[in-house]
Amino acid sequence: MRNKIEVIPDDIKKLTKLSKLDLSKTGVKSVSESIVGLRNIEYLHLDGNRLTDIPSKIVSMPSLKKLLLEDNPFEMLPPEIIARGIDSIRNFFKELDEKDYLYEAKLLIVGEGRVGKTCIANALIDSNYILSDTESTEGIQINRWIIPQAEVSEFNPKIQRDLQINVWDFGGQEIYHSTHQFFLTKRAVYLLVTESRREDRHDDFYYWLNIIRLLGDNSPVFMVLNKCDQPTKELPIKEYMETFPNLVEFAKVSLTNEFKDSFQSFKNSLASIASNLPHIGHPLPKTWVDIRIDLEELKLSGKNYISEADYFEICRKRYRTTDSALYLSEYFHDLGVMLHFQNDLELKNTVFLNHEWITKGVYKVLDDREVIAQKGRFTSHDIQRIWHESDYRAKTRELLSLMKNRKFDLCFELNNGDFLV
């Protein structure tokens, strides 16, 4: 067991000949600039502590060869940059000389079909929304919920502009569940919806809570029981919260007029959780925000995807190296700005900008009558027929690789070269 040291004393600067300092897992909360006095320090281990910040002067020490900072609750320093080592950490601090803020969060609404996910999504976005019984989502719909700065600053005073929450409304049909996995990421809030009349099994909730824990890296989950104006079932919320610590909130709501106040209270609670995600309100290099805008403009112009080389060129114009472009792509992948599977040999060369375009292409296979008649079996000839449109035809190999990816297992290649959903 290691000794606990909350603060590194200033006197440490007297140890001028020290070349290695290992303070990992000692409970350190803060690091003073006095460490800069260790002119011969080469290895500094501060991983597994409670640091929320580290002085840039320490990061810039010329003698320092290795800096371990993993597993600390840093407010500003993204874990992807920490994982890439000291050069990436130094570049990040250098770029912060010109900084900006990305007030953007991802809200993913999941659950079984016909429980009111789309109605809740619309009511969050539009305060004047009128309840409709006909709405249902096939696949995914993505819309923006803009919370004015004057409102959102009540939940997080750091926020200096309007907060944009990208609301992902997922279709509940079981056939689409597997494709949702493309988009379940960390740096997000999950809204798990059920309804009072529905006879959900424990398995349904455990399915969603487990998959969020697996792919969402323990992102916060808000469970909501919809249509509480009707006879309401009791859910074992305490049991769920004990099993899944990231289940942080539960509410009963209805979109009928007499429950407007309770829905507004739910909406405020959700906005508070989203506005206090770790990445919200912390400074980023201005180039990150500029590149985010560049990618959004490409998507709005009709681009469904670009090559990795094109993405690197966009970053290069903003004075970013290939290495820094890769950790930025990981950050944007989590936020839902784009999809880039940089560790997959068959997918790494494509950056997908339009999520709906991907899901539409996959559903073309899943919903195809001939594929259904063949009990999910299809051939390369079927693929050519299904993805005959030029945009899909050009990315046949990548889309098929996405479906075969072991992370998602949407289809399997059989010994004879056929495929099975």
- The continuous run of DSSP H or E covering 363 comes out as helix 355-366
In the predicted structure, residue 213 carries a pLDDT above the cut 60: yes
Residues 143 and 207 in one domain: yes
- Kindly state the percentage of the chain with pLDDT values over 90: 52
Kindly state the average pLDDT of the residues 349-365: 92
Look up the CATH number of the domain holding residue 32: 3.80.10.10
**For 20-167, where are the alpha helices, taking DSSP H only?**
56-59, 79-83, 86-95, 117-125, 149-152
Within a domain: residue 231? yes
Q: At 395, is the pLDDT very low, low, confident or very high (cuts 50, 70, 90)?
A: very high
Q: pLDDT (tens digit, 9 = 90+) per residue, 132-152? A: 765 666 668 889 999 999 999
Which range is least confidently modeled, 43-57, 115-129, 170-184, 270-284? 170-184
Q: Is the pLDDT of residue 195 over 60?
A: yes
Q: Choose one of 241, 275, 309: the last residue of a domain.
A: 275
Whether residues 377 and 238 fall in one domain: no
User: Do 121 and 62 fall into the same domain?
Assistant: no
Q: Is residue 261 part of a domain?
A: yes
**Domain annotation covers residue 250:** yes
Q: Give the percent of the chain with pLDDT over 70.
A: 93
- Residue 157 within any structural domain of the chain: yes
Q: Residue 108 has what pLDDT?
A: 93
Give residue 175's pLDDT. Answer: 47
User: Are 119 and 266 contained in the same domain?
Assistant: yes
Q: Are 31 and 46 in contact (CB under 8 A)?
A: yes
59/281: higher pLDDT = 59
Q: How far apart are CA 110 and CA 339, in angstroms?
A: 19
Q: What is the DSSP letter of 77?
A: S
Q: Looking at per-residue confidence, does 170 or 30 come out higher? A: 30
Whether 187 and 129 map to the same domain: the answer is yes
Position 25 in a domain: yes
Q: For residue 182, is it within any domain?
A: yes
User: 115 and 246: one domain?
Assistant: yes
Residue 281 has pLDDT above 90, yes or no: no
316-330 tens-digit pLDDT: 998 778 888 988 898
Average pLDDT over residues 211-238: 86
Res 133: pLDDT: 64
69 in the same domain as 128: no
Domain final residue, candidates 224, 243, 275 = 275
DSSP string, 379-406: -HHHHHHHT-SHHHHTTHHHHHHHHH-T
Q: pLDDT at residue 296 above 80?
A: yes
Nearest to 339 by CA among 189, 142, 161, 205: 142
- Structural domain including 56 reads 10-74
pLDDT tier, 58 (very low <50, low <70, confident <90, very high otherwise): very high
Whether residues 254 and 202 fall in one domain: yes
In total, how many domains does the chain have?
A: 3
Alpha carbons 183 and 409: distance in angstroms, whole number: 14
**Based on the domain organization, do 167 and 256 belong to the same domain?**
yes
> What pLDDT is recorded for position 8?
83
Identify the pLDDT of residue 231.
Answer: 72
Whole-number Å distance between alpha carbons of 296 and 166: 13
For range 56-62, the mean pLDDT: 93
Residues 6+ apart with CB under 8 A from 280: 103, 105, 156, 158, 159, 163, 274
Average pLDDT of the residues in 208-212: 88
**Of 259, 275, 291, which closes a domain?**
275
**What is the pLDDT averaged over residues 159-179?**
78
Residue 302 has pLDDT above 70, yes or no: yes
Please tell me whether residues 166 and 237 are part of one structural domain.
yes
Give the domain CATH number at 198.
3.40.50.300
Model confidence at 115, in pLDDT bands (50, 70, 90)?
confident
240/334 Cα distance (integer angstroms)? 25
Q: What's the mean pLDDT when you consider all of the chain? A: 88
**In terms of domains, do 130 and 243 share one?**
yes
Instruction: Note if the pTM is more than 0.85.
Output: no
Evaluate whether residue 321 is within a structural domain: no
* Residues 128, 246 within the same domain: yes
User: In the predicted model, is pLDDT for residue 2 greater than 70?
Assistant: no
In a domain, 403, yes or no: yes
| Nearest one of 308, 322, 287 to 352, comparing CA atoms | 308
Residue recorded with tokens 């449109």:
389
Length in residues, the chain:
421
